A and B are shown apart, each in its own frame.
Chain A
């Protein structure tokens, strides 16, 4: 009987133990600590990302932004006894250069949740995006562009990069083309010359010392400037850019003898046609003038006037020359053209073959027309490959560019605009050598 009672008590005790365990399981509440902490840390990283993104367009006070955020969350979760502290204040670094976009912000957040005994948690957050334009090729024969990019964020290779556009700027220079050249002999105090219409006209007037008093073109105000050298002989160079001019009348201060050289060009930089100029004068058996050009791919025109009393006087070393007898004197003039592919010093020399002469020479740098072509390809016109797991993007597209024959390419810049899945974006660019 006693044994039975003992067994019964054991059974009941075990039952109560099982019951209490089950009922405790039912009543104990599991606090979602992990979820709350993750909510806070996720939002902390989001604030850093937003601040970094915003900072790319306007300055952001990181400290104020995050301090306000901490205050908001602390107040909201005050029922939990949440304590937030910025252990490391946000630090923004920007190592961006032309072909590299590299921005980063990092900070550390300390979290205590006193109501559930959660203390001393530190969450170091870092937001980073680094995009490098590693290689770019522009092929003008095939009219294609190929670009390689690498993109990394704080977690490793970034696979969420969106290419917003691919832009190519090509600067080239049109070769200056002489479309008309002539010369006329002057005798009197005025001369009228008919010329074909052209974008740029340059006149060289060589006289026996008489100055040009005016040039009456259809639009006289288009005469940009004039260069002249006094003396005997006298050389003046005048130019204008007005395609409507078809007749020019040159008036002299007094009746004179001389000649006028007329040259008309296409593909001249009409907004700023003259780079530099220089002049020399002297007496002797030879002549020279030096010029220091300012720009690449210019054209230099030089003119010389010489006055001599020697029979059979000739200027040697000219592309074109002209002579006029004035009594016992000879007024001679010559013209030279020369391409100047690089800016630097250039010389023109003439020889009178041991015959003495007074001479005056001038050299003028005429600038070539610079053309800028800009092509922007939207993502829909690009083929974009992402090499999985490597952070490497291979982008290619068709340009549809038309560069005229004879154009001299000065520069070609490839630009890529991008943005990642978090909205952090920028531009990288690289100057490339053209192939083809």
Chain B
């Protein structure tokens, strides 16, 4: 009986050791599972969107977009590249395209119904970008697209322009 009592105490020690191992494993597994999100990767998209919209709002408010198109001359794309490249932070790549929203009424020949058609015509002849090649938009991180409409008077007519600004960060 005394021997048996002594063996029971050993089992308690073994049990405690197992318990400690189980809890330790749980802590180790949970520490592996709970990886706090990388703020860079999680907030990039939202931040870029906010950055892009804020930039467009600011340029529109100051009339810079209008001046860029109307007073920039033939080389306005280069001016736009310098402007956006200067205002955006280092490490952010941009790709700007300006479209002319051209609305036309077309007649459907079969039904003779008048159709209102909106066609986008690019206004920029050259790419407006600070990326040396477009791989940065394909292989990089999140890419956000800011679509900003801006109506101005061109040659005495009220026209709506569409600015599509793509932004991405080059490195993680």
Contacts and interface: CB of A to CB of B under 8 A. Distances in A.
Q: Which one of A9, A11, A65 has the greatest number of beta carbons of chain B within 10 Å?
A: A11
A72 B160 contact: yes
B22 interface: yes
Interface residues of A, number: 43
B27 to A, nearest CB: 6
Interface stretch (B1-9, B74-82, B106-114, B147-155): B147-155
A12 B24 CA distance: 11
B23 interface: yes
A4 B53 contact: no
Interface in A359-407: none
Interface string A1-41: 10111011101101110110011011001101001001110
B116 A71 contact: yes
Contacts of B148: 39
Contacts of A46: 60, 150-152
B34 interface: yes
Contacts of A9: 26
B26 A65 contact: no
Contacts of B25: 8
Contacts of A73: 149, 160
Interface in B31-79: 31, 33-37, 41-42, 45-46, 49-50, 53, 56-57, 60, 63
Interface in B83-117: 101, 103, 116
B149 A32 contact: no
A32 B26 contact: no
Interface residues of B, number: 43
A50 to B, nearest CB: 5
Contacts of A119: none
Interface centre among B25, B29, B34 (most CB of A within 10 A): B34
A155 B29 CA distance: 60
Given A8-B22, A76-B118, A15 B153 contact: no
Interface in A84-134: none
Contacts of B22: 1, 4-5, 8
B15 interface: yes
Contacts of A8: 22-23, 25-26
B118 A12 contact: no
Contact of A11 (B15, B27, B116): B27
A19 B33 contact: yes
A1 B15 contact: yes
A402 B107 CA distance: 68
Contacts, number: 111
Nearest to A47: B151
Contacts of A433: none
A26 to B, nearest CB: 5
B162 interface: yes
Most A CB contacts (10 A, CB to CB) among B20, B23, B30, B50 go to B30
B26 A11 contact: yes
Contact of A71 (B60, B103, B158): B103
Contact of B45 (A19, A29, A75): A29
Contacts of A18: 33-34
A68 B103 contact: yes
Contacts of A69: 151, 158, 160
Contacts of B41: 26
Contacts of B60: 42, 46
Nearest to A16: B33
A259 interface: no
B19 A4 contact: yes
B61 to A, nearest CB: 8
Contacts of B46: 30
Contacts of B42: 25-26
B149 A11 contact: no
B103 A15 contact: no
A76 B33 contact: no
Interface string B134-172: 000000000000011111110000101010000000000
Interface of B: 15, 18-20, 22-23, 25-27, 29-31, 33-37, 41-42, 45-46, 49-50, 53, 56-57, 60, 63, 101, 103, 116, 118, 120, 147-153, 158, 160, 162
29 contacts: A8-B26, A11-B30, A12-B26, A12-B33, A18-B33, A18-B34, A19-B33, A22-B34, A22-B35, A22-B36, A22-B37, A29-B45, A30-B49, A32-B50, A39-B56, A39-B148, A40-B149, A42-B57, A43-B150, A43-B160, A46-B60, A50-B151, A51-B158, A54-B153, A68-B103, A71-B118, A72-B118, A73-B160, A76-B149
Interface of A: 1, 3-5, 7-9, 11-12, 14-16, 18-19, 22-23, 25-26, 29-30, 32, 35, 38-40, 42-43, 46-47, 50-51, 53-54, 65, 68-69, 71-73, 75-77, 421
- List the 8 closest A-B pairs by CB distance, nearest first: A4-B19, A15-B30, A8-B26, A75-B118, A35-B53, A11-B26, A15-B33, A18-B34
Given A4-B19, A4-B20, 9 more contacts: A4-B23, A12-B26, A12-B30, A12-B33, A22-B37, A26-B42, A40-B149, A54-B153, A72-B103
